[in-house]
Chain A
Amino acid sequence: MTSPVGTSRRGMLAGTAALGLAAALPAASRAAPYDGAAWRRYAERFLLPEGRIVDTGNKGISHSEGQGYGMLLAVAGGDRAAFDRLWGWTQRVLMVRGDGLVAWRWTPDGGVADRNNASDGDMLIAWALLRAAETWQAEAYRTAAAAIVKALAAGLLVEQAGLTVLLPGRDGFRKGETLVLNPSYWIFPAIRAFAALPGGERWGKLSDSGLVLLSKARFGGFQLPPDWMTLDAAGTVGIADGFKKQYGYDAVRVPLYLAMDGYRDPYYFRPFATLATKFGATKYGGSAVPATVSLPGGTTTQVAASVGMLAVYRLACKLAGAGDAVTVPPLAPDEDYYSTTLAHLSALAAQSLGIDP
């Protein structure tokens, strides 16, 4: 199975941040808000002139997820020129499959390195296009978004055990009658935007089943969702084989996307808050939240959660009613792409919910 942005990249990323590293940095009680200036700093570090976002934690490759995040942050930062460059490169270089979906992985040496799509990348790009259409009143973006959404619905939305679910990629995520799914591919605010398009009813069902699956997919002492899960024909969920059996770099985005879509039910944020408060409160200066937790065993890694992940935990704690349990240090000058992106998205979510970031 080809795995879209998954364990390999996140694994490499993990190696760079040693436990307690962030503790050496001056503590700050709140993450920076996201604004035009934040976008410009982001673009300086990660956006290359030709229009691709570099995954600095991952040997400088680019991928559909990065393009999508970049486009979203560009809209929020009000930078249409940068947005157009990102979208242009994406169309030119990654949309080579012929089915309207985006090849997920590109390397500086070899170009498109895996033609399979990663559904979250497609969704982020389409959602950014819809937001751009609204922000800049440009119908062409909407038309392009609608085409991607249609292709996603045709190839990736499937029914299983009475639930509408999203396959993580076009190929390789069916094992017999069991599906392999990624909980963090439920980008709730994007899904809601797709549901509002003409003929978008199935996307509404995808939201509903996402909440159902997140209630079912709770494992181990912290009751966390796995990065990769299975859903069998009877509706039973499990932890997927063939991936690291853990909660980690993928699933940390689950509370982020829920918050971005306006969900506030503490029940859905509590597992993440529990993890953060258990590890975040004490002797390591509030920064020793582990980056990953094995499931269902609960073994934690020695690698600490990045700044961006801590920003997500801070948000989750607020929504779970656990208060200001997590301290988020400022972004380091060499903070990598993924951590920085999570930090900015968390700030955006907090702003939209009217919470202090």
Chain B
Amino acid sequence: MAVMEMAVTPFHRTAGRAALWAALAAATLLTSGCAGWVRDNLTQSATPWRRIQPAALPVTLPDSRDFPIVAARMRDTGTVYKTYNVALGNPTSLAGENRLTVDVQTLPDSLFGALVQPPRVFPVPLYTMETLTATTRREFPDMKVKVADIARRNRYGDYDYATAQDAENSCVLAWQLITDHKRMLPERIEAVRLEYRVCGVGSNIRALLAPFDGLTLTLPETILEVQDLGGL
């Protein structure tokens, strides 16, 4: 078994240089009269993934025979980001895990937290055509990929998705950013990012999207759903 290849955390080739620059920047900072700011890298990087019970997830998925929850994990990045990864069953023999990822960005609850926010764990815009192409090529190699022209809607508003198909199977990649903190999100939540990747047997795209269409977010504070708002 190829233990070595799998085990090493990937890192950017330029990690070294970037890190040096950060160190220099921090040194400048410490000598520049901005006293009181303590460099604290450990609180800024992601913690390792840890297994959690599906019941502890901030999301409820409709029961599904084809895509049951296989495992649930979470990790923190700084004090503002929590990321949940739900591995789902995969009835195909294609490579790659079916999954739902939920990133929750909370507002820092202290001035210190506001000053030392980690870099955002997901990009905004979530995808560009380039990054989407790269992602679908990685997730669905050798399949015919199409980006949907028209967004779909779930309980939390519109989302975009791409589909991939070969002779036997179909896959979807859906993504959604919830940032309407005026109407939908509770005060302490800045944004929620959802990403859903599922492959199934056959060609029924809507069946693949059904769990994403039907999911409910269950954060400690209530997130209002689109229908609560009298239509967006």
A–B contact (CB under 8 angstroms): yes
Any B CB within 8 A of the CB of A234: yes
Interface segment among B24-32, B73-81, B174-182: the answer is B24-32
Contact in complex: B32, A233 (CB < 8 Å): yes
Any B CB within 8 A of the CB of A176: yes
- Using known A-B contacts A177-B37, A234-B24, A234-B25, determine if residue A161 contacts B32 with beta carbons closer than 8 Å: yes
Any A CB within 8 A of the CB of B34: yes
Q: CB within 8 Å of A: which of B62-84? A: none
B25 CB contacts on chain A under 8 angstroms: 233-234
B34 CB contacts on chain A under 8 angstroms: 159-160, 177, 233
Task: Name the residue on A nearest B117 (C-beta).
Answer: A176
B115 CB contacts on chain A under 8 angstroms: 176-177
**Minimal beta-carbon separation of B161 from chain A (angstroms):** 30
- Using known A-B contacts A161-B32, A233-B29, A234-B29, determine if residue A176 contacts B114 with beta carbons closer than 8 Å: yes
Task: Name the residue on A nearest B114 (C-beta).
Answer: A176
- Using known A-B contacts A233-B25, A233-B28, determine if residue A159 contacts B33 with beta carbons closer than 8 Å: yes
Query: How far, in angstroms, from A162 to B30 measured CA to CA in the complex?
Result: 10
A49 CB contacts on chain B under 8 angstroms: none
**Minimal beta-carbon separation of A171 from chain B (angstroms):** 15
> Which of B24, B32, B37, B117 is in CB contact (< 8 Å) with A162?
B32
A160 CB contacts on chain B under 8 angstroms: 32-34
Any B CB within 8 A of the CB of A235: yes
Q: CB within 8 Å of A: which of B1-47? A: 24-25, 28-29, 31-34, 37
**Minimal beta-carbon separation of B131 from chain A (angstroms):** 22
B29 CB contacts on chain A under 8 angstroms: 161, 177, 233-234
A159 CB contacts on chain B under 8 angstroms: 32-34
A162 CB contacts on chain B under 8 angstroms: 28, 31-32
Query: How far, in angstroms, from A176 to B108 measured CA to CA in the complex?
Result: 12
- Per-residue CB proximity of B142-159 to A under 8 Å, as 1/0? 000000000000000000
Binding site for B on A (CB under 8 A): 159-162, 176-177, 233-235
Binding site for A on B (CB under 8 A): 24-25, 28-29, 31-34, 37, 114-115, 117
